[in-house]
Structure 1
Amino acid sequence: MTISPSRSAPANWSPAWRKSWGRQGGSAMRDRVAEWLRQNERTIAPDWIKLVRTQGGERDRKLTTRELERQFFTDFYHALVLAVEQDSEAPLVETIERIAATRVSQDFQLEETLDIFFLLKRLIWDRLIQFYSAEAALSRMYLLEPTFNRCFRLLSRAFTRASRKLLSERLMEAEFMTRRLAIATEEADRALSRLRILYNVSRAISSTLDLDQILAAVAENLMSVAQIDRCAVWLVDKAGQELSVATVRGIEAERLQGAYLSVQENHSVVTRAFRTRQLQIAGRVEAEDALAPLFPQRSLLAVPLQGEEQPVGVISVDRLAQDRPFETAVIEMIQSIADQTGVALHNTRLYEELVELNRHLDQRVRERTEELARLNREMAKLDKKKSDFVAIAAHELKTPLTLIQGYAEMLAEGGIENMPPEMLRRQMMGIVKGADRLRMIVEDIIDVSLIDTEVLALNLELTSLSNVIELACRDQMEAAQDRDVAVEMEPCQDLPYIEADALRLHQVLSNIIGNAIKYTPDGGRVRVSARHIPSQADQPDFVEIVISDTGVGIDLDEQERIFDKFYRVESPDLHSSSKTRFMGGGPGLGLAIAKGIVEAHGGRIWVESEGYDPVRCPGSHFHILLPVRSAWEDFRGRETAKD
């Protein structure tokens, strides 16, 4: 019959077997069994390993013989021998604890390890049967049974403890990894937030050249950093002498609005950052700092904004003073933003300068264009005036020449010796009258030329202005009577004598009074008045002459231009060589000559009129202001000095 050992003590043994076992028991038997185990170690241990490779658990079967040899088989076998010999579990404890720890760490189950020990128990039984009789083999196996039971019990307990320890370690490791993951996640979130801020700032400053928008984007994005309570951007003025807050965001931002600092201020974190071109950190703003009242009990970080050649400003961020400083990553982010902002501000200023230059150039172009257009208009008017003058001068010259030619031909055809004296006198007077008219036209042209070249000479002497006015009025009486225009002269005998060229003043008054008569309808009135204006603090004595008429008036736009040479208000088609015809045009030289003579005396001439209205006839008032002492000598002295 075949006998095999069970996993527990042989409970079905007969009383005879048990009696036999009792007789054979004791320490002597244990020593013999232990010695037998030692003697057969060389065969039992390798066969045990082979048995595990063929009949062990799935994972153990996958191991090589060498890998199994490096495990616990030899150590356990030696401990088993000692436990049998000493009838104690003490030699097994350390080895089984180590086996359990190793197998648990490798995720082996308890059943898989128990199977290995059962395979050893079966292998030992097989070898006992080969060496001893059935009764002797059973007695020895019965002696080994308690030792194996201790092994199984110790292994179960060790597995439980190792599993609990491993679970605890893995739980602690999981908690540690969870904390590490939370810290890493938080750091990743902060890094992502910093990257998002950098991206937002980069996008904002690259999409605009507007200074306010760039500064607002920088301050608002930096305010999203948890460590920052307030952010301000300081810009230096064009002179490079003063830093002032251009924009500010955050807690108590209004306290920094309008703040400024001299660049030369030594006791300030902001100015040190600007001058040294390096970031400055104050864990707590010191009392001697110029900005201490604006940053009470606060930590301050100042980063310069680098321009192309020199800083253009400073970014300052602050928060309540704490033991923990600003994080390095936050400082690096602010430095990166400051570098980008400095370049953007430099580009913005270049753009603003370019815009201002373009605006200035556009303005200059518009001004020059307007000036050229005005000059073109003036040239066109001048060309028209010259054309009109040529037409008028030709008419003016042609009329007296025709008169002279006609009378000369009559004298030539009729013969002077056969002509009655009265007829001869009339023809001779006609020739003289025509010659006088030619002389006057030529003299006017010469006077205009002298005035243009500033070589008009004055014969200054003490002159009674009232006599000159009276003579000029008398000379125009005949023309006024032809038109039924009353010429009135207000009393002016109390006027002082003045330094003047009497003939030239007579020429001026005659031209103006003659014009007043010509542009006053029949039945109208021309009044001449004069008054003395005493000297004041910085003004000498003056005499003012006013020639007023009840004529058609002068348009407001024409009141300065009528004094230009060749300028005529009416069309050249209305030209008339008559001095009395109503609104008959002349050569357009009289008022230009009058202005030149008055200004040569150091005086001024102008006209006042409500406007041109041939129906209502608002009239005109010509004012002539003359100094009592002429400025001609001073003018001539300056011209001589120039030469």
Structure 2
Amino acid sequence: TFLLPQQEIGIFLENQQRLTQLTEERDRAFSDLTHELRTPLTSIALVAETLSKRLHPPEVNWVERMLNETNRLIDLIQNWLDLSQLHANPSQYLNYQNFSLRDLISAVWYNLQPLAEKKQIKLIITGVEQVEILADKSRLTQVFANILDNGIKHSPQASPITLHLSLGGSDSQAKSLVICDIIDSGEGFLEADLPYVFNRLYRGDTSRKRNSNSFHTLAQGSGLGLSIAQEIIQAHGGKIIARNHPQTKGAWLQIILPLQPNHVTPPVKKTQKR
């Protein structure tokens, strides 16, 4: 370590402040743009959907392709707006309730089963049987749906996805955290991409991809899925870590969440009147 002269410290802080300001201005401008684009894109999607019902092959194939791409852009816009709202004021967009985390994960997997069955992929859930958590059920559903969907898409045929639940915490707050490890058997992330996988719209260097079907092919999708997952987890006071598993060599995403966030008052359970 070394000390900077007082003048250089001032210049460094000024540059950092300007960089932060430019980033905020860019995000704000992009959010305004996405708001303006959502309405015309929705109109285009409705027109394309109407045309697809009236046309016949091969014309209908072109319209369906246009509809798919339009819907993809609409999803991208909604994801960006969600990300911006969560980043600006996370607590305002969270609706806390008590629920079973394991039941939520099972429900998410049930909805993904048609996709999983095509590749003969099964989810193996291990660890703690019952984990009651105070969190936003809808937002955590979004997190696990995104991660498990990616796991299915980028896993080899007939390979399992393992999800392990455990409890942890400091000595003074034993078992105050739930730790969820999600591991697949795909190609994993490129080591060079790992520091950036949670960055907005990060696509990685496609020239260095080992396999275009692997999890680390960040060019697929909107490039916002893991960013949104991180914002949601951090808004709950938790964290999410991406790495490659040493045994399966696949993607390993670890989610750490407080069972009871410090800044949230538990909802009062209603009792029936006799």
Q: TM-score, normalised by structure 1?
A: 0.31
State the partner residue of 2:50: 408
1:22-41 alignment, distance < 5 Å: none
Offset, 1:604? 1.2
Offset, 1:558? 2.5
Match of 1:447 among 60, 64, 82: 82
| Structure 2 Cα separation of the partners of residues 559 and 593 of structure 1 | 16
Offset, 1:595? 0.8
State the partner residue of 1:463: 99
State the partner residue of 2:5: 361
Q: Would the aligned equivalents of 1:518 and 1:582 in 2 still touch at CA under 8 Å?
A: no
User: The residue matched to 1:514 in structure 2 has which SS?
Assistant: helix
State the partner residue of 2:61: none
Number of equivalenced pairs: 234
Offset, 1:548? 0.2
Q: Would the aligned equivalents of 1:495 and 1:532 in 2 still touch at CA under 8 Å?
A: no
Offset, 1:564? 1.5
State the partner residue of 2:268: none
State the partner residue of 1:549: 184
Q: Would the aligned equivalents of 2:49 and 2:67 in 1 still touch at CA under 8 Å?
A: no
State the partner residue of 1:620: 251
State the partner residue of 2:270: none
Match of 2:195 among 560, 563, 570: 560
Structure 1 residues 360 and 536 mapped into 2: Cα distance closer, same or farther (>3 Å)?
A: closer
1:505-516 alignment, distance < 5 Å: 505-516=140-151
1:294-373 alignment, distance < 5 Å: 360-361=4-5, 364=8, 368=12
| Structure 1 Cα separation of the partners of residues 120 and 7 of structure 2 | 53
1:11-30 alignment, distance < 5 Å: none
Contiguous gaps of at least 5 residues in structure 1: 1-358, 415-428, 575-579, 635-643
Q: Would the aligned equivalents of 1:516 and 1:526 in 2 still touch at CA under 8 Å?
A: yes
Structure 1 residues 623 and 590 mapped into 2: Cα distance closer, same or farther (>3 Å)?
A: same
Q: TM-score, normalised by structure 2?
A: 0.66
User: The residue matched to 1:477 in structure 2 has which SS?
Assistant: helix
Root-mean-square deviation (CA, aligned residues, Å) is: 4.5
User: The residue matched to 1:495 in structure 2 has which SS?
Assistant: coil
Q: Render the CA deviation track for 1:98-131: whole Å, top value 9, x for unaligned.
A: xxxxxxxxxxxxxxxxxxxxxxxxxxxxxxxxxx
Offset, 1:519? 2.8
User: The residue matched to 1:490 in structure 2 has which SS?
Assistant: strand
Q: Would the aligned equivalents of 1:595 and 1:605 in 2 still touch at CA under 8 Å?
A: yes
| Structure 2 Cα separation of the partners of residues 594 and 565 of structure 1 | 11
State the partner residue of 2:132: 497
State the partner residue of 1:608: 243
Contiguous gaps of at least 5 residues in structure 2: 57-63, 266-274
Offset, 1:432? 9.9
Offset, 1:569? 2.4
User: The residue matched to 2:172 in structure 1 has which SS?
Assistant: coil
| Structure 2 Cα separation of the partners of residues 561 and 542 of structure 1 | 25
Decide which structure has the larger Cα Rg and report it: 1
Structure 1 residues 436 and 528 mapped into 2: Cα distance closer, same or farther (>3 Å)?
A: farther
Structure 1 residues 535 and 521 mapped into 2: Cα distance closer, same or farther (>3 Å)?
A: same
Q: Would the aligned equivalents of 1:560 and 1:606 in 2 still touch at CA under 8 Å?
A: no
The amino acid of 2:51's aligned partner reads E
Structure 1 residues 453 and 552 mapped into 2: Cα distance closer, same or farther (>3 Å)?
A: same
Structure 1 residues 514 and 522 mapped into 2: Cα distance closer, same or farther (>3 Å)?
A: same
1:235-246 alignment, distance < 5 Å: none
User: The residue matched to 1:537 in structure 2 has which SS?
Assistant: helix
Offset, 1:413? 7.0
Offset, 1:401? 7.6
User: The residue matched to 1:563 in structure 2 has which SS?
Assistant: coil
Structure 1 position 590 matched with structure 2 position 225: yes
Q: Would the aligned equivalents of 2:240 and 2:253 in 1 still touch at CA under 8 Å?
A: yes
Structure 1 residues 480 and 402 mapped into 2: Cα distance closer, same or farther (>3 Å)?
A: farther
State the partner residue of 1:292: none
State the partner residue of 1:631: 262
Q: Render the CA deviation track for 1:524-576: whole Å, top value 9, x for unaligned.
A: 3322221222662256611111110111122334323211111122549x9xx
Structure 1 residues 628 and 596 mapped into 2: Cα distance closer, same or farther (>3 Å)?
A: same
More RCO (CA 8 Å, sep 6+): 2
Structure 1 residues 546 and 471 mapped into 2: Cα distance closer, same or farther (>3 Å)?
A: same
Structure 1 residues 449 and 507 mapped into 2: Cα distance closer, same or farther (>3 Å)?
A: same
Percent identity of the aligned residues? Answer: 22
Q: Would the aligned equivalents of 1:546 and 1:621 in 2 still touch at CA under 8 Å?
A: yes
User: The residue matched to 1:517 in structure 2 has which SS?
Assistant: helix
Structure with higher helix content: 1
1:68-467 alignment, distance < 5 Å: 360-361=4-5, 364=8, 368=12, 404-411=46-53, 440-455=75-90, 456-467=92-103
Structure 1 position 477 matched with structure 2 position 108: no
Structure 1 residues 471 and 433 mapped into 2: Cα distance closer, same or farther (>3 Å)?
A: farther
| Structure 2 Cα separation of the partners of residues 602 and 362 of structure 1 | 35
State the partner residue of 1:202: none
State the partner residue of 1:257: none
User: The residue matched to 1:522 in structure 2 has which SS?
Assistant: coil
Offset, 1:434? 8.3
| Structure 1 Cα separation of the partners of residues 95 and 222 of structure 2 | 26
User: The residue matched to 1:621 in structure 2 has which SS?
Assistant: strand
| Structure 2 Cα separation of the partners of residues 507 and 528 of structure 1 | 16
Q: Would the aligned equivalents of 2:245 and 2:252 in 1 still touch at CA under 8 Å?
A: no
Structure 1 residues 435 and 406 mapped into 2: Cα distance closer, same or farther (>3 Å)?
A: closer
The amino acid of 1:563's aligned partner reads F
| Structure 2 Cα separation of the partners of residues 519 and 408 of structure 1 | 33
Offset, 1:588? 1.0
